[in-house]
Amino acid sequence: MRLTRDIVMVGGGDNGFNISAPLDCNMYVIDGGEELVLVDAGIGSIYGDTAQIIANMDEAGLDRSKLSKLILTHYHSDHAGGAADLRDVFGFEVHASPLCADVLQRGDEDAIALTAAREGGMYPRDYQFRPCPASGTLVEGHTFPVGRLQVTVYETPGHSAGH
């Protein structure tokens, strides 16, 4: 679903537009023309639907061969749980804040409050967060190109550490 010339929504579950798995956050592609970047990865695992996210990219007319990286806004499971699955498919680098990258690489379910979320019924009891290699390059003020665009990182504290 193209929102603007440069932003395409390619995922979103029950709290969004129901265009991917029910537990997914909203996921976007930044379209810089000759380069694309995926923002957030959804829930992943047996509860995710990587194939549907890819189908949504295709339906929007995106050239998946131009995907250069995945950037994660934070480490909650609905945003970062599918990082390893998507990395397996596309082979791209995963970028996040230093804290998020550390937690993602360790697969630390307690740090992301997954243990408590499972106990509270927010996630299925058998959901497991899959670790994924990540680079902690996203820090306040860092700017990077995405094709013809420049993206600047802004910290937004409050929702989770390293957000």
DSSP 17-38: T-SS-TT---EEEEE-SS-EEE
Query: How far apart are the C-alpha atoms of 31 and 35, rounded to whole Å?
Result: 7
Q: What is the pLDDT of residue 16?
A: 86
DSSP 67-79: EEEEE-S--SHHH
Q: What is the pLDDT of residue 147?
A: 98
No. of helices (H) and no. of strands (E), the chain: 5, 7
Residue burial 102-130, b: 16+ Cβ < 10 Å; e: rest: bbbbeeebebbebeebbeeeebeeebbbb
Report the DSSP beta bridge partners of residue 143. 152
DSSP letter, residue 163: -
* 3-class secondary structure, 53: helix
Cβ–Cβ under 8 Å, residues 157 and 163: yes
Q: What is the pLDDT of residue 117?
A: 93
pLDDT 10s per residue in the chain (163 long)?
999 999 999 999 999 899 999 999 999 999 999 999 999 999 999 999 999 999 999 999 999 999 999 999 999 999 999 999 999 999 999 999 999 999 999 999 999 999 999 999 999 999 999 999 999 999 999 999 999 999 999 999 887 877 7
Q: What is the pLDDT of residue 41?
A: 98
